Amino acid sequence: VYGAFCAYNQTDVKKLVAYSSVSHLGFVVLGMFAMTRASVEGSILQMVNHGISTGGLFLCVGILYERRHSRLIADYGGIAKQLPWFAVFFMVMTLSSVALPGTNGFVGEFIILLGSFEEALSSHLDRTLPWTDYITSWRVLATAGSVIAVSGVIFGAIYMLSMFRRVMFGEITHEENKHLKDLTPREFGYLIPLAVLVFVIGFFPNVFFNKMRTSVDAFVAYTRPAVVAVRSPETVNANRRRREGLAAGTLPGGPADAAPPLVFGVPAPADALPATEGEAR
């Protein structure tokens, strides 16, 4: 969302695309932290999608700069009349970036959001926790992160479509724009494969999901138990007791009731703890 706000305020089209890239990679991070099969699959696919759509947008910006030697949005306007084929490819990449249904961007972001909401709604919520722990519980944080991510999709559509409208439509106000040349055969060769991939992934995502499913299932099966343990009520309560004990200078209830030390957020097993002085003797 921060990247989306930064992108909205840009007057340089290349910087706008760069900040949109930051915004889209936030979805990848969300999917990996949710750690469900759907969200991880969506994150992997979204990294591929990001390379296609953002790479295509940077290529389009480079084509414009090669002709006009300016990246300022204000220096354009109405050039769709002079560059009709360029406008088509630029529109395809823009719609992919805003996750229009039928494009690759929609599949990746939708699957990530589906997996993150699935994780948020399946997480345990202990309503007996103090309000400070309640609002920082995993279910509340996961739900809030998913909702914020949805708003990022909306903001992304606003700034990308606004940029496309200002660059491609309207009246030509600069004389230099009246003499711009459309795409060359070499530029067609660059853009056509990217545009084809946008729709192939958008309409046939299972071709790619089936290839990664075995690896994703193994990865989630290996990491999921630790993730669930970290987010469990037992670990949350253990962390709370340790914080209270550290704040008071001693763990509550004496050694017998002391919360166990944590290893990567998970209570350490008894045989993993160092021996006391008496045990060492």
pLDDT, tens only, 220-259: 888 776 666 655 555 656 666 666 666 666 554 444 444 4
Query: What average pLDDT does the segment 18-46 reach?
Result: 88
Extract the tokens encoding 138: 């995993």
Give the up-direction half-sphere exposure of residue 263: CA atoms within 13 A in the CB hemisphere. 9
Average pLDDT, the chain: 79
Among 164, 158, 41, 180, CA closest to 107: 41
Q: Where are the beta strands (DSSP E) in 128-239?
A: none
Give the single-character DSSP code of 125. -
d(CA 185, CA 189) in angstroms, rounded, equals: 6
* Residue 63 to residue 200: CA distance in whole angstroms: 24
What integer pLDDT is reported at residue 128 of this predicted model? 57
Dump pLDDT digits (tens) for 107-125.
999 999 888 887 766 655 5
In tens, the pLDDT along 210-220 reads 999 889 888 88
Single out the residue of 231, 226, 217 nearest to residue 40, CA to CA: 217
Output the six-digit token pair for 222: 């290996």
pLDDT of residue 257: 45
Q: Where are the alpha helices (DSSP H) in the chain?
A: 2-8, 13-34, 37-68, 84-97, 104-122, 131-134, 138-168, 185-203, 206-231, 233-248, 254-257, 277-280
